[in-house]
Structure 1
Amino acid sequence: MSITPSGESILAQLGIEPTAIKIIKPPWKRNKYRAVVNWLMKYKPLSDVTNIEKIKGLVEAFYHLCEVEAWKEAGNIPSVTLNTPTNEKLHNQLQTWGYYREQIDLYSKLLGKLNSEWDATCLGGLGNAYQFLGDYTRAIEFHEECLAIAREKGYRKGEGNALGNLGNAYSSLGDYTRAMKLYQQNLVIAGEIGNRRGEAGALGSLGNVYHALGDYARAIDFHQQCLAIEQEIANRWGEGAALGNLGNAYLSQGDYTHAIEFHQKRLAISQQIGNPQGEGETLGNLGIAYYYQGDYRQAISYFEQKLAIAREIGDRRGEGSALTNLGNVYESLGKYSQAISCFHKHLAIAQAIGDRRGEGAALSNLGTVYRATGDYRQAISCFEQALAIAQQIKNRRGEGMVLGNLGIVHNSLGDYRQAISYFEQDLAIAREIGDRSGEGAALGNLGVAYRSIGDYYQAISFFKQRLAIAQQITDRWGEGMALGNLGIAYNSLGNYQQAILYFEKRLVIARELEDRPGEATVLGNLGVVYRSLGNYPQAISYFEQHSTIANEIGDRAGVGRAMGNLGITLMKLKQHSKALEYLQTAVSISRSIEDHATEAIVISNLAILHDKLGDRLLALEYCDRALSIATELNIPLEKDCRDLKKQLEHSHE
């Protein structure tokens, strides 16, 4: 079935009678009108063409009408409702499909040709299109022009809408203070003119700003106010959006139970009212909730459903988002090749539709996977490209996040001073834009860097600041991370009882949130502490629990780490044959998932084990293999391997 209405109905809507065309003069003008009729009546796209080809008849008719300056008729075409799953008007459908450039061309043709109301619509549409393209400066210019017209003509509702759109643009730039002021002005206007739907929208936008700032409690308060109004005016679409925003806020708090509850409610509404875009978004959010809980199979199921809907309705941005979600799961499962494939597909989509923000996100995700595989050079290349984009489009929050990622890579390379420099820049941006969640993450990263250089007291200071922020903004997941890092720092200081105390608190939070990956990690941490205490049976118990959970959730990298720790512990107990078995399993897993950094660490332990077994030549062979990998990756382990090689060569003499 064609997605465009019949040619006859469109011509009737335009007021064009095909039989009357022959009297139009001059001939060139008559030919243009004949072309309009032919494109609307005779154009029949093939079934497997792109979405833009499916509406080519409408688009060509629009351009021919513009050429004869039939602006009133041309202005009717963007308002034609299409027979798509979202049943949107042509100009809005172009946005759903990701045809932002085509949308810009359409609005530009009509701007200044009809009336001030149409001009406001075109300016707002141009602003939104440029925002999707990541050109926030031009978006703001168009929204400000729209605002000026609305104020000049006394369009109070249009004034509020323009203020809201400006708020969205500034929010995308990370200028939350200005965004908040604009949303508050929008809220005042909506209240003054009795625009309850506009009031609800402004409250929802304020909730999103507080969410971005990490103030989840206030975000929830605004979203609940928004929800109450949407239910009062029986706006089912808005009710669904408010429920989704509440779900996202609870998700950020680590309250996965409430997050899933709200997203399930939104899913039901989206399905009831036939809102496939909302349905796809919600399936994605449900997938994220299950992903954080470590239920990767369920997460993949939701993400695949989201991907299918996005492709069905031609939502290119949604398709890219679903591919990113799937890539994140595959990365957590240690399926790095599949993750890289998903992120490359997202990158291609973002570049195809001109989504600069999405392009930067895809590059950052690729950098994260390459970092996980130990390919630090490739990771840095991706992050540097992402940083350039963030700076070009003035996305301050994105810039800070990429700087943090660059810091993590340099920390892994042992370039701690460079890492600290990046983390300090990230921290400065977070504080500048008032991003409390980002500030906490930057402080945590600084703590990790100082721990890496052995300055444990400075590390503890940063981790405690990270903990305080997480507790202030009710970020339970962040609180758990801070507690875990404090445990690692105290373990490094040899203060094992304090380390155990923090790890046990971390374990309580992980279990409370049903955070299975977090639970597995902290069980492994507890095993390391008990091994340091010489309590090897207890250590083995914790490592086995770590391995069990990692197996259950499909975390191959986690299984590999647990196997490696069991092998090291059994070496301490002089159970060398069992230790060898576990270490060989760990090497096999690391190699299969292309985690080369971990592979090198385990191989170096195999060198130590074979030295204990008296096979110095095999020990040297393993040491050389570990050294080769560490040298190629340019990681701190390289020095340890060189020292080990000298020790083995000396003992062999």
Structure 2
Amino acid sequence: MTDEKQFIDSSFAESLEKFYKLLELSRKTGNFIMKAEALNSIGEISQTLGKDKDAVNLFMNAWQIAEKTEKLELKDSIARNLGFAYYSLGEIDKTETWFKQSLEIAKQLNDERSIAGDIANLGLVYFARGEYAKAISKYKKSLKFLVTKGTLEDQALTLHDLGDAYRMSGNISHGVTSYKKAIQIYKRIGKKTGVAESCSALGFLYYENDEFSQAKICMEDGLESISHEYAPLQKRDLLANLGLVYLSLNQSDKALLLMEEAFELLDESASETDYGIFYNNFGLAYRMKKSYQTAKEFFLKSYEIRRQYELERETEISLYNLALVCYHLGQLGEAQKYLIQSIEICERHNWIDQRAWALVLLGVIQEHLGEHKQSHQSYSEAIKVLQDYQNNEGLWSAVYNLGRLYEESLGDFKKAQTSYQDSVKHLMKIRTRMSIDHRANYVEDKLRVFDSLVPLLIKQGENKNAFHYAELSKSRSFFELMLDQDFLSNNDKLFEKEWSLFSHPDYVSSLLITTD
């Protein structure tokens, strides 16, 4: 335990002792206002310590006293605190009720700064419900008040939330702008934890869009900003996110080191769902290292937590990941069971893209079980959906596996060749190895497409065509190697130059010669 943490813990203890003394005094004197204020203050400390259920009980007791009085400022504070406490517990309807209550009181007080804050808080409600356009509207309305009536810190916090909403709505450029503005303000006022939080969010946005060098820069800047601060939560999030960046760069050892360092920063305030996220990410790293049994153990831990808390999207991801490692372990029946559950969740929520991924993996497993007709059906259904969504990351794998089914199980070499060639076309449109949610490919790596196609062409006497695909494989291999070694991700200009050359239609078509 650091000296700073000891100081903070002792400060909380001293504050609690002080407010409990006030609470006792209020009981002796019959001062109900003092009692409500003490309960509210103890609730705030409880919430800071992550004891949200205790905080709700304390705030409700305070509210029952305060609502009978004319103390609008006190009622405003308690209502807002109840909103945040219920938000932390994931009870969004109750969150909305109390934030609206706080907003009405703030209007009675004509407190424009509080009005702005409550409007932004309602933005959190809409964000939690996935209603991002409404959230954006609330945050922008709040900012209009805050420019003249709020503090710079208020503005930065709301800009950060606005960035979150833009990110989730798919408006990347506006998200980047909002986060950058928040970072600038936090730096201006010397709020280092704020810098770290917004750097982490901006870095994750870059990461989601395959801009790994920018993601690393942002996250490392965030870590630097708190290098001399006691900020375990911010450091934990930055390290965990940076671990994902290295995972996407296929550097599993570095990713694991960062994730383990982040995991050690989990404390009593961390929720079970936080542990679920870490267990899932550990599973991804060990899967990349081909330590499939260890990966399975972590995925199972993550799955149990997510299922318990009825987190359907996260549960589906865990089921998919479990199916994939079971496939690698040769546990095909168990893998099939997990995939069927995954597909059921996708169908329940109409998650079309995720369902297609699951169908491809199901096709692989069915093929290994000798269920060739069912395997063909799964691949074909997935390909149709992935084509509609122009999902090249999924298509190259789905079409490749269909080709492998034709060649190895059905003996139709012509259809196999066509499928492999189609797979290459989709492969050439992909910049990185791994999709953003880490639904890994079902072959060793993407170069295996060429390893299957070239021998098949030679077998069919298409030597010239085979030679050109072999040359294309070398080009792709060189590009993948540069990604593996992190050369390109550290140099955006070099990355764009190499990619523009590599993916240019004339360059690709020059290698795809059809032999008469």
Alignment equivalent of 1:113, drawn from 5, 10, 21: 21
Tell me, in whole angstroms, the C-alpha distance in 1 between the residues paired with 2:130 and 2:221. Answer: 29
1:378 matched to 2:273: no
Partner SS for 2:130: coil
* 1:453-532 correspondence runs (5 A): 453=362, 492-493=379-380, 501-504=387-390, 506=391
- Whether the 8 Å contact between 2:80 and 2:98 is mirrored in structure 1 is yes
| Aligned residue in 2 for 1:405 | 317
**Alpha-carbon shift at residue 261 of structure 1 (Å):** 1.0
1:416 matched to 2:302: no
| Aligned residue in 2 for 1:344 | 260
AA at the equivalent of 2:379: S
Among all aligned residue pairs of Structure 1 and Structure 2, give the percentage whose two residues are the same amino acid: 20
**Alpha-carbon shift at residue 544 of structure 1 (Å):** 3.9
**Alpha-carbon shift at residue 112 of structure 1 (Å):** 3.6
| Aligned residue in 1 for 2:230 | 314
Tell me, in whole angstroms, the C-alpha distance in 2 between the residues paired with 1:356 and 1:242. Answer: 27
AA at the equivalent of 2:248: S
| Aligned residue in 1 for 2:202 | 286
| Aligned residue in 1 for 2:512 | none
**Alpha-carbon shift at residue 572 of structure 1 (Å):** 2.9
Tell me, in whole angstroms, the C-alpha distance in 2 between the residues paired with 1:349 and 1:524. Answer: 38
Tell me, in whole angstroms, the C-alpha distance in 1 between the residues paired with 2:396 and 2:379. Answer: 17
Tell me, in whole angstroms, the C-alpha distance in 1 between the residues paired with 2:304 and 2:425. Answer: 47
- Whether the 8 Å contact between 1:527 and 1:543 is mirrored in structure 2 is no
| Aligned residue in 2 for 1:51 | 4
**Alpha-carbon shift at residue 339 of structure 1 (Å):** 1.6
| Aligned residue in 1 for 2:153 | 237
AA at the equivalent of 2:171: D
| Aligned residue in 2 for 1:569 | 453
- Whether the 8 Å contact between 1:330 and 1:336 is mirrored in structure 2 is yes
**Alpha-carbon shift at residue 570 of structure 1 (Å):** 1.9
- Whether the 8 Å contact between 1:380 and 1:406 is mirrored in structure 2 is no
Tell me, in whole angstroms, the C-alpha distance in 2 between the residues paired with 1:293 and 1:130. Answer: 38
Tell me, in whole angstroms, the C-alpha distance in 2 between the residues paired with 1:358 and 1:258. Answer: 28
**Alpha-carbon shift at residue 315 of structure 1 (Å):** 0.9
| Aligned residue in 1 for 2:511 | none
Alignment equivalent of 1:302, drawn from 218, 226, 249: 218
| Aligned residue in 2 for 1:199 | 115
**Alpha-carbon shift at residue 407 of structure 1 (Å):** 1.2
Could you list the per-position Cα deviations for residues 34-86 of structure 1 after superposition, in whole angstroms to 9, with x for gaps in the alignment? xxxxxxxxxxxxxx963145x4xxxxxxxxxxxxxxxxxxxxxxxxxxxxxxx
Could you list the per-position Cα deviations for residues 288-317 of structure 1 after superposition, in whole angstroms to 9, with x for gaps in the alignment? 121112111110111111122233221110
- Whether the 8 Å contact between 2:276 and 2:306 is mirrored in structure 1 is yes
Tell me, in whole angstroms, the C-alpha distance in 2 between the residues paired with 1:124 and 1:271. Answer: 32
| Aligned residue in 2 for 1:78 | none
Tell me, in whole angstroms, the C-alpha distance in 2 between the residues paired with 1:118 and 1:356. Answer: 36
AA at the equivalent of 1:323: L
Tell me, in whole angstroms, the C-alpha distance in 2 between the residues paired with 1:344 and 1:522. Answer: 34
AA at the equivalent of 2:103: L
Alignment equivalent of 1:534, drawn from 418, 428, 433: 418
Tell me, in whole angstroms, the C-alpha distance in 2 between the residues paired with 1:110 and 1:315. Answer: 25
**Alpha-carbon shift at residue 181 of structure 1 (Å):** 1.5
| Residues 1:227 and 1:495: Cα distance change in structure 2 (over 3 Å) | closer
Q: Specify every segment of 5 or more residues in structure 1 that has no aligned partner in the other structure, as ranges.
A: 1-47, 56-93, 429-438, 456-487, 507-518, 594-653
AA at the equivalent of 1:403: T
**Alpha-carbon shift at residue 273 of structure 1 (Å):** 2.1
AA at the equivalent of 1:411: A
| Aligned residue in 1 for 2:96 | 180
Higher relative contact order (CA 8 A, sep 6+): 1
Worse overlay, 112-121 or 161-170: 112-121
| Residues 1:527 and 1:383: Cα distance change in structure 2 (over 3 Å) | closer
**Alpha-carbon shift at residue 146 of structure 1 (Å):** 3.3
| Residues 1:401 and 1:263: Cα distance change in structure 2 (over 3 Å) | same
| Residues 1:541 and 1:423: Cα distance change in structure 2 (over 3 Å) | closer
| Residues 1:123 and 1:331: Cα distance change in structure 2 (over 3 Å) | farther
AA at the equivalent of 1:406: S
- Whether the 8 Å contact between 1:347 and 1:358 is mirrored in structure 2 is no
Could you list the per-position Cα deviations for residues 247-296 of structure 1 after superposition, in whole angstroms to 9, with x for gaps in the alignment? 11111122211100111111222122222222111111211121112111
Q: RMSD across aligned C-alpha pairs, in angstroms?
A: 4.2
AA at the equivalent of 1:493: S
AA at the equivalent of 1:223: Y
Worse overlay, 372-381 or 154-163: 372-381
**Alpha-carbon shift at residue 322 of structure 1 (Å):** 0.6
Tell me, in whole angstroms, the C-alpha distance in 2 between the residues paired with 1:108 and 1:330. Answer: 42
Alignment equivalent of 1:228, drawn from 144, 147, 150: 144
| Aligned residue in 1 for 2:407 | none
**Alpha-carbon shift at residue 403 of structure 1 (Å):** 2.5
Alignment equivalent of 1:144, drawn from 55, 60, 75: 60
- Whether the 8 Å contact between 1:528 and 1:539 is mirrored in structure 2 is no
| Residues 1:233 and 1:253: Cα distance change in structure 2 (over 3 Å) | same
Tell me, in whole angstroms, the C-alpha distance in 2 between the residues paired with 1:494 and 1:447. Answer: 8
AA at the equivalent of 1:416: Q
| Residues 1:286 and 1:410: Cα distance change in structure 2 (over 3 Å) | closer
Tell me, in whole angstroms, the C-alpha distance in 2 between the residues paired with 1:422 and 1:544. Answer: 29
Tell me, in whole angstroms, the C-alpha distance in 1 between the residues paired with 2:94 and 2:451. Answer: 56
Which one has a bigger Cα radius of gyration?
1
| Aligned residue in 1 for 2:190 | 274
Tell me, in whole angstroms, the C-alpha distance in 1 between the residues paired with 2:46 and 2:381. Answer: 55
| Residues 1:353 and 1:213: Cα distance change in structure 2 (over 3 Å) | closer
**Alpha-carbon shift at residue 526 of structure 1 (Å):** 7.6
**Alpha-carbon shift at residue 177 of structure 1 (Å):** 1.6
- Whether the 8 Å contact between 2:299 and 2:322 is mirrored in structure 1 is no
Tell me, in whole angstroms, the C-alpha distance in 2 between the residues paired with 1:197 and 1:281. Answer: 23
AA at the equivalent of 1:51: E
AA at the equivalent of 1:50: D
Q: TM-score, normalising length from structure 2? A: 0.70
- Whether the 8 Å contact between 1:567 and 1:581 is mirrored in structure 2 is no
**Alpha-carbon shift at residue 167 of structure 1 (Å):** 2.0
Q: Specify every segment of 5 or more residues in structure 2 that has no aligned partner in the other structure, as ranges.
A: 27-31, 327-331, 365-374, 404-414, 485-516
| Residues 1:108 and 1:503: Cα distance change in structure 2 (over 3 Å) | closer
| Aligned residue in 2 for 1:264 | 180
What is the aligned length?
432
Worse overlay, 240-249 or 344-353: 344-353
Tell me, in whole angstroms, the C-alpha distance in 2 between the residues paired with 1:337 and 1:216. Answer: 36
**Alpha-carbon shift at residue 185 of structure 1 (Å):** 1.4
Partner SS for 2:228: helix
- Whether the 8 Å contact between 2:127 and 2:135 is mirrored in structure 1 is yes
